Amino acid sequence: METKLEPHQITATAEEILRRLCDNLVVYQDDVELIDISNSSATRFVIRVNESDMPMILGGEGRRLRALRCIMQLIGNNLGRDIFILRVDNPTVGNDTELYRYVQRNDWPKEDVMSIMESIILLCFQHGAMLTCSEPALGYAVLHIEVSPKELYITDIERYLQTIFSGIGLMVGCSLNVEITIKPKARQ
């Protein structure tokens, strides 16, 4: 028996996931602000980040922001409420800005990254999914997601997750790749 979440619970869940994603995409985590301007029919967020973190949230030609919007909309669809990211703003105050430079690390926070992905796939895939991680080379990891053949839009979801998690990989010091495969059907 499935329990239907109240709108405020859906908003809190969406905000937690969006905050974790944004915090892992930026240098100045203290400057990340999620402004909730929800109403009775939809959950809406405005994201504020430090000026130097804008490129990591937006991505090339806005691709990462589009991916964040699509993943949040999918989560909203599966939870029964519209979830939107309206825009990304610079904060009114913030730290001095500087450019972030990628540094490959041996001690990247694998458990944190896996935890974020597990939270997302739990809400994105209605028929369940299994997450594993392999590290075929130093500073390179593949997040494998195995989903049911009943799932829809797998290629699009894979592309959105890849766009988001490649940015997270830059920040944590590990090149991350996302692969989604379909579970083989059980024999009759």
Determine the pLDDT at residue 58.
93
Per CATH, the homologous superfamily of domain 7-89 is: K homology (KH) domain (3.30.300.20)
The pLDDT mean for the chain works out to 88
- Check residues 163 and 126 and name the one with the higher pLDDT: 163
pLDDT digits (tens, 9 = 90+) for 46-79: 999 988 888 899 998 999 999 999 999 999 999 9
Please compute the mean of the pLDDT values over residues 143-162 and round it to a whole number. Answer: 95
Determine the pLDDT at residue 188.
43
Q: Which residue has the tokens 């083989």?
A: 184
| Residues in contact with 169: Cβ distance below 8 Å, sequence separation at least 6, in sequence order | 141, 175, 176
**Does residue 83 have a pLDDT over 60?**
yes
Choose the CATH number for 110-182 among 3.30.160, 3.40.50, 1.10.3470, 3.30.300: 3.30.300
Q: From CA 44, how far away is CA 182, in angstroms rounded?
A: 32
Work out the angle between the directed axes of helices 110-124 and 7-25 (0-180°, nearest 10): 140
Contact 147, 180 (CB under 8 A): yes
pLDDT digits (tens, 9 = 90+) for 24-37: 999 888 999 999 99
Please compute the mean of the pLDDT values over residues 87-94 and round it to a whole number. Answer: 71
pTM for the whole structure? 0.88
**Does residue 105 have a pLDDT over 80?**
no
Is it true that 7-89 and 110-182 share their CATH fold?
yes
Determine the pLDDT at residue 1.
39
**Does residue 102 have a pLDDT over 60?**
no
Structural domain boundaries in the chain = 7-89, 110-182
Pairing of strands 33-36, 42-48: antiparallel
